[in-house]
Amino acid sequence: MTIVIAVLLIVGLSFLFTVGLRSGVAVDDGRQASNPQQRPVLGGSDPETHALQRFHIRYYTMTLLFVAFEMEMMFMYPWAVVFVEEGPKALAEMGMFLAILSVGILYGWKEGIFEWE
């Protein structure tokens, strides 16, 4: 019963939220931003090149490490639950999984991401 009430509450609140948003938008008189309004603010100056540009994601080495270790842990918890039932089959599967993930760690090692700068 409580689940039904919770679902009804969620649906009802989302409906109210949507109605609120729509009525808030309706207050706006529908004018679209004109072309001069859409220009980037540079304090009165105008840009000469597009703002679209390629950045270097300098934290990518941290991301690589995070994915390698975090993914490992994420799958090891449920694996640990079924390990006793499944036995050596589960061990072999996890071994393969870890082998693939460790390629990422080895690559990072080669790139020198474990050296503190």
Partner 1 sequence: MGMNWIAKLAAKAPVPIFIARGNDAPDETDKLHLNPNLSIVDTPRAASILLVAGTIPHALTAHLHRLHDQLPHPRATIFWHSSPTDQLSSALGVTHGDDLGSFLLQTRAALLTGERASEADVLPDEPANVWRGVGPHGQGGKGMMGGTPYGRPMAMTDDDMRDGLKLDAYTADFGPFLTMLPSGMILKITLQGDLFQKVAVVSPPYEDARQGREIRTLLKLLGLPALANRLLIENAHCEAGFKRLVTLSGVRRAIPPDLGRTHDGSDVRSRFEHMLNDPSNPQNLHLMGLGLGDLLEGREWQEAMLILNSFDNTSLRKICANTPTDATDDMGDSSEQASGGHEGMDHSSHGGH
Confirm if 108 and 114 have CB atoms less than 8 A apart. yes
Confirm if 105 and 112 have CB atoms less than 8 A apart. no
1-9, 23-31, 73-81, 101-109 -> range binding partner 1 (CB under 8 A): 23-31
Q: Is 22 in the site for partner 1 (CB under 8 A)?
A: no
Q: Is 53 in the site for partner 1 (CB under 8 A)?
A: yes
- Retrieve residue 42's tokens: 């540079």
- Whose Cβ is closer to partner 1: residue 85's or residue 117's? 117
Give CA–CA dist 64/70, Å, rounded: 10
Interacting residues toward partner 1 by CB under 8 A: 24, 27, 29, 31, 33-37, 39, 41-56
